[in-house]
Structure 1
Amino acid sequence: MNNSRLKLLILPLIIVIITLIVTVAIMAPLIPLPLSDLILDGAIFGLLLAILNFLLKEIIRYSNYKSLPIIQQIVNYGALAILFVLSWVGISFLILYIISPENAMNYVLPTVPIRITLALLTYGLLILLYGYIFTQNQEEEVSIDIDVEHTTDIESSEKTMTNEDTSDSEILEHIAVKNGQKIDLIFINDIISIQAEGNYVMIFTPKGKYLKEQTMKYFGDHLPANKFVRVHRSNIINIDYIQRIELYEKQSQMLKLQNNLQVKMSIAGYKELKRVLNL
């Protein structure tokens, strides 16, 4: 825990220091300002980058843009680039203008094109860096799935035998979900997929989606095993709503479900789906 907190403090500090040094080195020949003003400029620039770096990392972590069509990826990353550049360059200029209007207008404003170029290069490097990191993490998760596959196969067989012997009362027939002051009943046959959302799950149906405070393990244990398959650690799907299976990346498949839902499958999840479908 202490190491995690230390990393949270050290990384932004490193970003601020590196950005400060780079900014001063680039701007010193271009702006006839005292060194103290250049350091202030670099410190503000670096502090904003540390904040934007954290936000960008979280967006890339949870956005799953790679599952979208290529045109949509270009649009999303392009819009994100514009927002990143405007936030970094615009807010830093605004802060400098508040501190010293004369210096901001006379010396900093002419360097805005250079700052925009620097921001775009930084954005591109961060996108490549975090894209690589999160891709590696996903591959490690897949590797873990493969390593425990033999164990899970045995557990799955035992679970199937147990499910056959359990009474009907242990298998869900419907799910109660709070909807404001009302309670909606979702029948099992109407569930398209279930997606993990932290300590909650999102239940997708033809009529809409519903948030339920429950675990994925609970639904994995209480849904009919011959109809619902956990194709990924964060997704359970109803095989009745599968439209097609497409190749997503090397050794990765994407499920196309009704209501335009897309679900990425792990290797272990794909093998389990093939077993249930007798493929």
Structure 2
Amino acid sequence: MDTHPITNNRICLLCATALLTLLAVVHTLLLVCYAHTGWQTAAVDAVATNACSATLAYLTWFMAGLLSMPATRCMTIAATTVLWLGGSMTLSLMLSDMLGLPDAPQLPTLPFKLLFGLPAWTALLLWYRLLKLTSTQAPVAVPLSPATAPDPQSTTPPTEYLDRISVKDGTRIHLISPDELLYIQACGDYATLVTPRGEYVMEQTMKYFESHLPPESFVRIHRSTIVSVSQISRLEQFGKETYQVLLKNGTRLRVSLSGYRLLRQRLGI
């Protein structure tokens, strides 16, 4: 099971405890000042709400690695908010009945809970997702063998080429060899790795792949496309200073002017 970033770090744990305490005090004051609730009832509702928040925040970490798609993250935020609201209301009513206190009004506090709760859950999930990505989704780079290593006298740092690329997809990790790659396409902050057995999306820049894939095997034909030279069937011109490459699997990819010059140089034509 993954180590939790909050409970395993004393500073994070202290900050989380202080934040929950502050939220409980603010929650109590809002109930007393705006809903005219008694202090004891307001305190019980605040404790119930923050107890549910802490429990769900702890458990959410263990499913953060499954949230690889934006739609899934949005659905998780919505589901977590509903569970938080429902759980806190139920726990608050149970505690009030056990202590013989009047039930805290729920509807007056609902706008405040949504106002603060939705941004908080969104920020928490994004933070969890960032921690998961930085710890598990970095490509694996292997240094050059001694036979091909640069001269030790050189001041230029040795180039590291990728031996394999690890892509996390939910609970699975795919290992992709550079030899399998047909091409790489940029999609905003993501890169799509296209292979004969499927497409894989990961958070990585095109500049990284350009500098960490063997230059004799891969060429950047466009700012959003890197292609395997061995997969190119032919180079076509379909307009004035407009080019495209046809891959062996029938895919056509646009080539920029700078990419065209680089491709001709790489192919020796």
Which band: TM-score by shorter chain? 0.5 to 0.7
Change (3 A) 1:117 1:238: same
Give the counterpart of 1:110 among 99, 107, 127: 107
Matched residues in 1 for 2:179 and 2:9: separation?
46
Post-superposition offset of 1:82? 1.8
Post-superposition offset of 1:23? 0.9
**Offset from partner CA, 1:44-90 (integer Å, 9 cap, x none):** 21222223233445544x2463xx4xxxx2x3233112211112111
Matched residues in 2 for 1:273 and 1:100: separation?
63
Give the counterpart of 1:260 among 198, 209, 234: 198
Post-superposition offset of 1:130? 5.3
**Do residues 14 (structure 1) and 18 (structure 2) align?**
yes
On the 8 A contact 2:92/2:104 being kept in 1, the answer is no
User: Where does residue 164 of structure 2 map in the other structure?
Assistant: 230
Give 1:97-246 correspondences, 5 Å limit. Answer: 97-101=93-97, 107-111=104-108, 113-114=110-111, 115-127=113-125, 134=131, 155-158=143-146, 229-231=163-165, 236-239=175-178, 241-246=180-185
Change (3 A) 1:77 1:105: farther
- In structure 2, the gaps of 5 or more residues are 1-6, 150-160, 168-172, 220-269
Matched residues in 1 for 2:47 and 2:134: separation?
32
Matched residues in 2 for 1:159 and 1:108: separation?
74
Matched residues in 2 for 1:275 and 1:231: separation?
16
On the 8 A contact 2:181/2:194 being kept in 1, the answer is yes
Aligned residues: 191
User: Where does residue 206 of structure 1 map in the other structure?
Assistant: none
Identical columns (%): 12
Q: Following superposition, which runs of at least 4 residues in structure 1 exceed 6 angstroms of deviation?
A: 102-105
On the 8 A contact 1:44/1:92 being kept in 2, the answer is yes
Letter in 2 for 1:231: I
Letter in 1 for 2:145: S
On the 8 A contact 2:41/2:101 being kept in 1, the answer is no
Change (3 A) 1:273 1:260: same
Matched residues in 1 for 2:60 and 2:147: separation?
41
Give the counterpart of 1:26 among 30, 46, 49: 30
* TM-score, length basis structure 1: 0.52
Letter in 2 for 1:14: A
Name the Cα RMSD after superposition. 4.2
Would you tell me which structure has more helix in proportion to its own residues?
Answer: 1
* TM-score, length basis structure 2: 0.54
Change (3 A) 1:258 1:100: farther
